[in-house]
Amino acid sequence: MSGPPVPPARPDDLAQAVLDGEPRALERWYRAEHPPVWRLCLGFLADRAEADDVAQDAMLHLHDRLERWDRTRPFETWRNSVVLNFCRDRRRRAEARERAERSALEHALPARLPEPGAALEQGELAELVTRGLSALTEREREAFVLHDLEGRPADEVARTMDIAQGSVRALLTLARRRLRNLLAPRLEGYFPGSERG
């Protein structure tokens, strides 16, 4: 007779298990952390193929720096900061190439979008959102991904980005307005209102 299901381990506990050298902890940590790291890379870089590649490197980067994690800070907050800085460094090293890719994405709209009011397929929605993200400034995209897509509170986003909460709110307002202007009416009602804090 089996007992109740075991709840998934908390990110902090998994990271600590890796640091403690527990058997199979690294494998469990990798399986748990790769999906959110990939989502962050996709949001920050606004390029699915590059996110696939960068997420692997970001995981290695995280593992290499795991001993630097301050246990007084939630692991997820620390992880988001590390991945954000990793993606920023990646962008700085490949700035010219990224500009070309962003320009290509912005001009790669399909010849015919669905009729207004038609339901968007999940893949089409994801593609439209990715194109919209590529048109945001770097800081707008970072704030939008962390707050609106990843659901992190504004004070945590401010700490992750090392800026004031007021700056986070301003960046979110600009990002949402720019995305609405670019994607409306295709995604009407999809993006949260600017009053969300």
Instruction: Per-residue pLDDT tens, the chain, 197 aa: give them.
Output: 455 555 568 999 999 999 999 999 999 999 999 999 999 999 999 889 889 989 999 999 999 999 999 999 999 999 999 999 999 988 887 765 555 445 544 544 343 444 444 455 666 767 777 788 888 999 999 999 999 888 899 999 999 999 999 999 999 999 988 888 877 756 555 545 544 44
Task: Classify residue 104: in a domain, yes or no.
Answer: no
Q: Are residues 68 and 141 in the same domain?
A: no
How many domains does one find in the chain? Answer: 2
What tokens were used for 134? Answer: 């590529």
Residue 46 identity: A
Q: Quick check: 37 and 59 in contact, CB under 8 A?
A: yes
CATH number of the structural domain spanning residue 50: 1.10.1740.10
Q: Are residues 76 and 143 in the same domain?
A: no
Q: How far apart are the first and last CA of the chain?
A: 47
Quote the domain boundaries for residue 162: 117-190
pTM: 0.66
Task: Classify residue 196: in a domain, yes or no.
Answer: no
Distance CA 28, CA 119 (A): 38
Q: Quick check: 105 and 134 in contact, CB under 8 A?
A: yes
Measure CA 136 to chain center: 14
Task: Classify residue 5: in a domain, yes or no.
Answer: no
Q: Quick check: 111 and 123 in contact, CB under 8 A?
A: no
Task: Classify residue 73: in a domain, yes or no.
Answer: yes
Helices and strands counted in the chain (H then E):
9, 0
Within 10 angstroms of residue 44's Cβ, the number of other Cβ atoms is 25
Q: Are residues 50 and 87 in the same domain?
A: yes
Q: Are residues 179 and 125 in the same domain?
A: yes
CATH number of the structural domain spanning residue 136: 1.10.10.10
